[in-house]
Structure 1
Amino acid sequence: MNEQDKAIINQGEWFNNCAVELQAALLENAKIVTKNAGEALFLRGDSNCGLYCVLKGVARVSGVNGEGKEAVLSFIPQGVWFGEVALFDGGTRTHDVYAQTPLRLVHITVRCLSRLVEQSPIYWRDFGVLLSQKMRLVFSSLEDHALLSALQKICKRLLLVASYDKQSYSIVMSQQQLADMTYLTRQTVNQILQHLRQQKVIALHYQRIDIIDKPGLLAISNLNL
């Protein structure tokens, strides 16, 4: 792990608020994992393999039905840790996680995590905070689904994903993936994206959306973000 990796980890909200001793232990036991775009990190039903943090790129969380249709639930940006659910219940992975773009991650093995919480049970609180942060996002998503208009759902999701990368507002995402995450049809998503393109706040490419006027997109959304 290099200094740039450590800087990205330290910028993350959860890690930055962990006990200092836990921070040191995680960095000491971290292993680097890389994945090519489209490659699976783990799949639903896999055994618990530990905790991850994205260092570069974006991970995609999704589920697949019996007919093989994928539904995208969310994206995981750099600096965010994930995989903590199985740490608490000892169960298998709840969803599939793929590399949406080329991915570089930190991996902490389940054996290491078990040893840490056995030696210092107080660390369970830190991991509980990580889990509660995800629950807050779930509740926020449910509220958005119930209260926001289709236009607002699209704008908010684009602005959220764009915030993952401070250097670029280029989003690697298909219209179907955007439809999955906003609970809208692909046709509705396409109509809204075409409207936003005509307003000159976004540019559309094959499986990529560029935000070219972020303040304008925020103004159109009429959201207080």
Structure 2
Amino acid sequence: MERERIQQILLDSHWFQGLPDDVIAQVIADGKVKNFTDGQYLYGKGDEPDGLYAVLQGAVVAQIISKEGKCAVLGILERGSWLGEISVFDGSPRPSDAVARGNAQLLFVPRDKFHALLDAQPNLYRHFIRQVCKRYRSALRMLEASLIRSLPERLAIRLLDLATGYSEYRVGAGGVTLSVSQEELALLAGATRQRINQELKLWEKAGWVSLGYGSITIHDCGALEGLLAKS
């Protein structure tokens, strides 16, 4: 992938919006483009942190699998999303698996290179800690949803998180298409695929979403946000 294309993807990501061009250029210079096939692990739960990743193409699933083989999907990260930052900051082992979904291309930035950039420009810490806090707030919102929210509310939260890349930025009026299956949404929302399908069919009839093969297009984010505002 050309350097200019990588730069544009980073600029479109909330992680790097507002940063100087020289910072973007340094991240690209320090990074290495890596290709992963479907089901290939970027890293596993408990691995030592070696760096962070930016999704350039495809998607990555963050998940935890129990000893009994039960899978909990924590998030699906598509183009422009970053992952692995928590362990890069605190130095602790990876808290979950990260697995490529389909063929994925990522920019890998080694941990020592990233810390060298922060050490050279300490003012960047404030920016990146803010991004970590956004991810933390998203996690708290999902914890709340799993405990007290109804299924429609949990599903709306998950769709909005996917649409905004787990950030506070709003989706444009034109809507957005998500490469996510109903099986994956069932795992994300803690429900059966049948219940997810029933809810999505109601939303499709209302014009909020449209369903495709392995994809969902959100046409009315305001309607989904309205579900949350009522509770």
Query: Please, what TM-score do these two structures have when normalized by structure 2?
Result: 0.79
From 204, 219, 223, the equivalent of 1:214 is 219
Deviations 1:54-108 (A, max 9, x none): 1112211110000122111111121122211112221111101111232111111
Tell me the equivalent position of 1:137.
138
Secondary structure in 2 aligned to 1:102?
strand
Change (3 A) 1:221 1:108: closer
Q: Distance in 2 between matches of 1:2 and 1:59?
A: 22
| Equivalence map 1:34-113=2 (5 Å) | 34-113=35-114
Q: Distance in 1 between matches of 2:106 and 2:91?
A: 22
Tell me the equivalent position of 2:183.
176
Deviations 1:31-61 (A, max 9, x none): 1011122221111111111011111122111
Q: Distance in 1 between matches of 2:215 and 2:23?
A: 38
Amino acid in structure 2 at the alignment position of 1:188: R
Identity %: 26
Change (3 A) 1:35 1:196: same
Change (3 A) 1:41 1:128: same
Amino acid in structure 2 at the alignment position of 1:202: S
Change (3 A) 1:191 1:87: same
123-132 or 35-44, larger mean C-alpha shift:
123-132
From 210, 219, 224, the equivalent of 1:202 is 210
Q: Distance in 2 between matches of 1:220 and 1:13?
A: 22
Coordinate RMSD, CA, aligned: 3.1
Amino acid in structure 1 at the alignment position of 2:210: I
From 186, 210, 214, the equivalent of 2:193 is 186
65-74 or 188-197, larger mean C-alpha shift:
188-197
Amino acid in structure 1 at the alignment position of 2:138: L
User: Do the aligned residues in 2 keep the contact of 1:47 with 1:93 (CA within 8 Å)?
Assistant: yes
Secondary structure in 2 aligned to 1:100?
strand
Amino acid in structure 2 at the alignment position of 1:209: S
How many residues are paired up? Answer: 221
Secondary structure in 2 aligned to 1:188?
helix
Tell me the equivalent position of 2:12.
11
